[in-house]
Structure 1
Amino acid sequence: MVVAANGYKAQKEAFVSNLTGGSVWEINTVTLVAPTAVLLWSVLQSRQRFFIPYTPAACLTDFLLNCAAILFATTLYSSFPVALNLLLLAPATLAYFTPAAAPRHARVKVAGAPKGQQTSPAGLSDPFPIKPFVTAYRGTMMVVTCVAILAVDFKVFPRRFGKVENWGTSLMDLGVGSFVFSAGLVAARSALTGRTGKMPSLNKRLVTAARHSLPLLILGFVRLYSVKELDYAEHVTEYGVHWNFFFTLGLLPPFVALFQSLFSIIPSYAALALLLGVIYEAILDFTDLKAFILTAPRTDLLSKNREGVFSFFGYLAIFLAGQATGMYVLPREQTPPTDAAFSAQLRKSVLGKLALWSVVWTLLFAFSTSYYGLVLSVSRRLANLPYFLWVAAFNCGQLALFCAIERLCFPSLRGAPDDETERQRCREATSRVLHAFNRNGLAIFLLANLLTGLVNLSLPTLNMGHLQAMAVLLAYVSVLAGVALILDSRSISIKL
């Protein structure tokens, strides 16, 4: 029995490590399913008010669009993502041009505003209103992450989507970085709040950061202990012998607190992120650090965990890039002057800024990897400069897509006369499933890790056919969605 178990463990480790990665184009096409599904949801809601009231049929449709579609995109439709996108886009297009079931909210004009000046409704007091497109972005990112961490153990999930060994791009490599970028995005709220007064001292910032870090570090040690005690299959070159993703997340807050001291010198989180990424890449290329991370024997604590220790600096750059994005995404968007040119209005809007930064990060990524640029290769194991730029470009692009969908389907969302009306409109413009995943994201991620371990210890995942695998994965995603919806329905927010 022990020999069989050890043989299966070795087989799984070999299965997970045999990775070649996929093309950026293929990954983008697969991940496009999430925005396309949100588009269909938004059209059904805005034109037909399909999800009001939220009946069992509406809940099932919500789950199928925003969870099952992502699962199918990464498994059975992994070789045909364009077909799946068209299957979602066709009914969305048809529904959009059908007569609306109920009139949309009319825009509210604020009287007394001088012509050509920016206006903000007098009844709106929240400087950081709920942004449905941000909820959709974070919710779908969490769904993709939860799906992938279990699906990777089944043969129905393509090997090219799993984490690559050293060089290349894959869906799961992108997911890890996107998780960090998303955390940085919401962390910008505290930085924006601090701008209204005097910045707290470094000691106070470190104490606050420690309170956020401690639960994550505890989870990291719990995961380390459980993996070692259960002899669970793991790939050492992912983070190292003892390091895991929770340690990376847990160490981000104190380092970000230190970087806030540099903000008075370089008043741009994007510039700080790029500076850190360039310095880290220079150290990799002009010292022996790259060779140490990739080839050194594991003889002491540092060498055993070198991937997690040094890739942390790349993830810190990604976090700062996410924070830079949050600085213009989270605050209330002011109404542009009515007599301003369209190009000026677009440039000052959140959508315009997201599109602009998507282009900037993409061009920098192309320069870092092209023959006429730095000729570097993406490495999630190193979290090097091309990896950081790739993650930043992808996530800004995703946010821009979700923002565009919101503007298309809910154009009067920000025309509310008061806070309560605005919150009501935002609730109606947000998928309840995605809102639930976003509300308790880290807790759901922890539950997904526990269920993944339970499934792997209970079932021979590598020997299961596609039909069996899909049954298990659908049940797994249903449990996660069910728990998230129950917590949300009871207004429970678990803060870790």
Structure 2
Amino acid sequence: MSQYKFEHEKFVTGHNGTTFQEIGALTSIPCVGCFARGVVLLFVADGLATKNGLFLLDFLTLVMPSVISVTLMSDFIIHNTLIIFIFSALTYIYLNKKNVREYRYALQRANLQDQKAFISWYRSLVNLMTALAILAVDFPVFPRRLAKSETYGFGGMDNGVGFFVIANAIVSPEARGKHIQRPIYTQLKHCVVGCVPLLLLGLGRLLAVKATDYHEHITEYGVHWNFFFTLAALKLMSTLVFSVVNVDKSLVIGLAVTTMHQILLSTCGLSHYIMHGFSGTGIRTGILDANREGILSIPGYLAIYSFGVALGRFLFQKRENLIAWLDAAKSMFCVVLACTAVMVTLHAYVEQVSRRLANATFVFWIVGNGCLMLLECLLAEIAITCAKWARENHQPADPQQPLQQTYPKHSHEMLARPGLHSSNFLVQNCKGEAEVPDTHSARDTDKPRAEAKHPTNGCLLDAISYNALMFFLAANVMTGLVNMSMRTMYASNTTAVIVIISYLFVLCLVFVMLRRKNVYTKIW
């Protein structure tokens, strides 16, 4: 092992995280950015409704706030979130003050798009935040409290895999009511075939890391295990579970798995084994011992997946108008409060939060924080949809008088009308219409709509969603190239920020260009 590799591994390990409030604020920044982007496009950006203008706006509202918040202004994360939200909200209120009367009609008559853009936004933002974090963590400008925690603690990067699991679960066949109960043998056969690409990707990453002597965080997954192996194992486990248990019981499954896993951790010595191994000294002997974190954390991620399926089933229920969606938002807020209360109690009296153990505290933290992000994206879409409706459908002063326009049943029907160009442009290019299942999805079996021929100006979120797996792989490859081309540990803050912004700009631009040409990169 080279001296620099040793120093780099020491640099990214041994951290204890920060507070869950700060992590909640950090993950809220890109969600608030979605709202800010919508406000700009709806009211002040007709001139930006071009391909290049839209990409620039996307980068400034969806990427740059997070970059600045985890680098130069990392001491003011909560303040940054509040400033962006307050400024966007005040702008939204000021520009809508003449349409207040129409809002009550909008809430009753308008509805979200059938594709539920807020889900696509959440899934794309998880990918985008991951791409930022995996490179930024290698620079000193990225605060160590936001890196992965070593054993216990709320680390900023501890959310990553859990958020990916939720992102896949909420659009899985089980969540969308498309799960078909088939014989176990048939489902396992199909599952094994679906696991092959994940296993190949995991093996490829393992060989690349070992061959290049790339720095590793061993206590993240183990010596040989990695993210793709976890997804493959989760795919197999979820197939087994939902082959014998009705999907309606997904919430019960999540609670049962979480409880049993925590009992093993707390009373059967599993926590001590994961942290110290068979020898009790941390030495790793044998395949299981060498990869104990990755293998023994699978029950925790299975619980997260089951909770995600239950959440997805709730979100895909049919709702007739924005009032119904506001009621759904209230229910989601209650879920966030409940998960937070359980998490705080478990953290104080049972076992501290630990990504490494994937314990019950970690499970409820991830589910609560993921639900918070979805809630914020939902509220942003409701606000933007309501504003479009109020501005494009004038309501007479006397409610007893007939409407001047006929209200369509769905908001996307409204977009066919001539009118506010920026509003039309916003939804057409970021509604998630071309969203496809991730190839690393735990259970998604629907065929993607890669054959879509409609033109697109390439909204960044839509572009990431369209080629989600390739975006993730490209981010990892580019991160590796940056680390092999420079000693990131010794970079100044200015150099680090320039490199991070350039990396994200190129990465995002490439995938926006692919989306504009409808190039779909899934090959199996």
Unpaired segments of 5 or more residues in structure 2?
A: 278-282, 390-406, 417-423, 432-457
Does the Cα contact within 8 Å between 2:274 and 2:293 map onto a contact in 1?
yes
Deviates more, 1:278-287 or 1:209-218: 209-218
> 2:359 and 2:151 mapped to 1: Cα distance?
11
- Answering whether residue 467 of structure 2 is matched by residue 440 of structure 1, we say yes
- Listed as ranges, the matches of 1:28-39 within 5 Å are 28-39=24-35
Deviates more, 1:356-365 or 1:320-329: 356-365
- Equivalent residue in structure 1 for 2:55, among 54, 59, 65: 59
Report Cα offsets for 1:96-142 as digits up to 9, x if no partner. Answer: 134469999x99x9xxxxxxxx9999xx9xxx921121122122211
- Name the SS for the 1:88 alignment partner: helix
- Listed as ranges, the matches of 1:468-483 within 5 Å are 468-483=495-510
> 2:124 and 2:60 mapped to 1: Cα distance?
14
- Listed as ranges, the matches of 1:234-313 within 5 Å are 234-264=216-246, 267-296=248-277, 297-313=283-299
Report Cα offsets for 1:212-235 as digits up to 9, x if no partner. Answer: 322111100000001111111102
- Answering whether residue 332 of structure 2 is matched by residue 354 of structure 1, we say yes
What percentage of aligned pairs have identical amino acids?
Answer: 30
- Name the SS for the 1:80 alignment partner: helix
Matching residue's letter, 2:256: L
Partner of 1:318: 304
Matching residue's letter, 2:428: R
> 1:228 and 1:423 mapped to 2: Cα distance?
52
- Listed as ranges, the matches of 1:46-445 within 5 Å are 46-48=42-44, 50=46, 53-99=49-95, 129-188=114-173, 192-194=177-179, 199-264=181-246, 267-296=248-277, 297-335=283-321, 349-370=327-348, 374-411=349-386, 416-417=408-409, 421=413, 426-427=427-428, 430=431, 432-445=459-472
> 2:16 and 2:5 mapped to 1: Cα distance?
21
* Number of residues of Structure 1 aligned to a counterpart in Structure 2: 463
Matching residue's letter, 1:399: L
Partner of 1:339: none
- Answering whether residue 32 of structure 2 is matched by residue 9 of structure 1, we say no
In the TM superposition, residue 346 of structure 1 has moved relative to its aligned partner by 6.8
> Does the C-alpha gap of structure 1 residues 204 and 46 become closer, same or farther in structure 2, counting only changes over 3 Å?
farther
Matching residue's letter, 1:351: A
Does the Cα contact within 8 Å between 1:70 and 1:143 map onto a contact in 2?
no
Does the Cα contact within 8 Å between 1:48 and 1:101 map onto a contact in 2?
no
> 1:120 and 1:7 mapped to 2: Cα distance?
61
Matching residue's letter, 2:65: A
Matching residue's letter, 1:10: F
> Does the C-alpha gap of structure 1 residues 101 and 47 become closer, same or farther in structure 2, counting only changes over 3 Å?
farther
Report Cα offsets for 1:405-437 as digits up to 9, x if no partner. Answer: 211221278974469637876425659111212
In the TM superposition, residue 208 of structure 1 has moved relative to its aligned partner by 2.8
> 2:10 and 2:158 mapped to 1: Cα distance?
18
> Does the C-alpha gap of structure 1 residues 332 and 191 become closer, same or farther in structure 2, counting only changes over 3 Å?
closer
> Does the C-alpha gap of structure 1 residues 98 and 258 become closer, same or farther in structure 2, counting only changes over 3 Å?
same
> 2:328 and 2:414 mapped to 1: Cα distance?
18
Does the Cα contact within 8 Å between 2:134 and 2:476 map onto a contact in 1?
yes
> 1:29 and 1:282 mapped to 2: Cα distance?
31
Does the Cα contact within 8 Å between 1:36 and 1:88 map onto a contact in 2?
yes
Does the Cα contact within 8 Å between 2:22 and 2:78 map onto a contact in 1?
no
Matching residue's letter, 1:82: I
Deviates more, 1:304-313 or 1:419-428: 419-428
Does the Cα contact within 8 Å between 2:119 and 2:377 map onto a contact in 1?
yes
Partner of 2:396: none
In the TM superposition, residue 67 of structure 1 has moved relative to its aligned partner by 1.1
Matching residue's letter, 1:280: H
For normalisation by structure 1, the TM-score amounts to: 0.86
> Does the C-alpha gap of structure 1 residues 404 and 191 become closer, same or farther in structure 2, counting only changes over 3 Å?
closer
Report Cα offsets for 1:61-86 as digits up to 9, x if no partner. Answer: 21111011111111111111233224
Matching residue's letter, 1:361: C
> 2:24 and 2:249 mapped to 1: Cα distance?
28
In the TM superposition, residue 94 of structure 1 has moved relative to its aligned partner by 4.0
Partner of 2:518: 491
> 1:45 and 1:381 mapped to 2: Cα distance?
42
Does the Cα contact within 8 Å between 1:129 and 1:330 map onto a contact in 2?
no
> 1:38 and 1:355 mapped to 2: Cα distance?
19
- Name the SS for the 2:309 alignment partner: helix
Does the Cα contact within 8 Å between 1:50 and 1:58 map onto a contact in 2?
no
Matching residue's letter, 1:365: M
Does the Cα contact within 8 Å between 1:243 and 1:305 map onto a contact in 2?
yes
- Name the SS for the 2:2 alignment partner: helix
In the TM superposition, residue 188 of structure 1 has moved relative to its aligned partner by 4.4
Does the Cα contact within 8 Å between 2:131 and 2:472 map onto a contact in 1?
yes
Matching residue's letter, 1:315: Y
For normalisation by structure 2, the TM-score amounts to: 0.81
- Name the SS for the 1:14 alignment partner: helix
> Does the C-alpha gap of structure 1 residues 463 and 189 become closer, same or farther in structure 2, counting only changes over 3 Å?
same
> 2:381 and 2:412 mapped to 1: Cα distance?
19
> 2:46 and 2:85 mapped to 1: Cα distance?
17
Does the Cα contact within 8 Å between 1:333 and 1:350 map onto a contact in 2?
no
- Name the SS for the 2:148 alignment partner: coil
Deviates more, 1:185-194 or 1:67-76: 185-194
Does the Cα contact within 8 Å between 1:188 and 1:324 map onto a contact in 2?
no
> 2:48 and 2:409 mapped to 1: Cα distance?
22
In the TM superposition, residue 249 of structure 1 has moved relative to its aligned partner by 1.1
In the TM superposition, residue 465 of structure 1 has moved relative to its aligned partner by 0.2
Does the Cα contact within 8 Å between 2:54 and 2:459 map onto a contact in 1?
no
Deviates more, 1:91-100 or 1:53-62: 91-100
Unpaired segments of 5 or more residues in structure 1?
A: 110-117, 337-341
> 1:483 and 1:351 mapped to 2: Cα distance?
35
Report Cα offsets for 1:172-195 as digits up to 9, x if no partner. Answer: 00122111111111214665113x
Report Cα offsets for 1:437-482 as digits up to 9, x if no partner. Answer: 2222221111111111111111110010011111110111012101
Deviates more, 1:177-186 or 1:147-156: 177-186
> 2:160 and 2:238 mapped to 1: Cα distance?
21
> Does the C-alpha gap of structure 1 residues 60 and 357 become closer, same or farther in structure 2, counting only changes over 3 Å?
same
In the TM superposition, residue 50 of structure 1 has moved relative to its aligned partner by 4.2
Matching residue's letter, 2:220: E
> Does the C-alpha gap of structure 1 residues 210 and 493 become closer, same or farther in structure 2, counting only changes over 3 Å?
farther
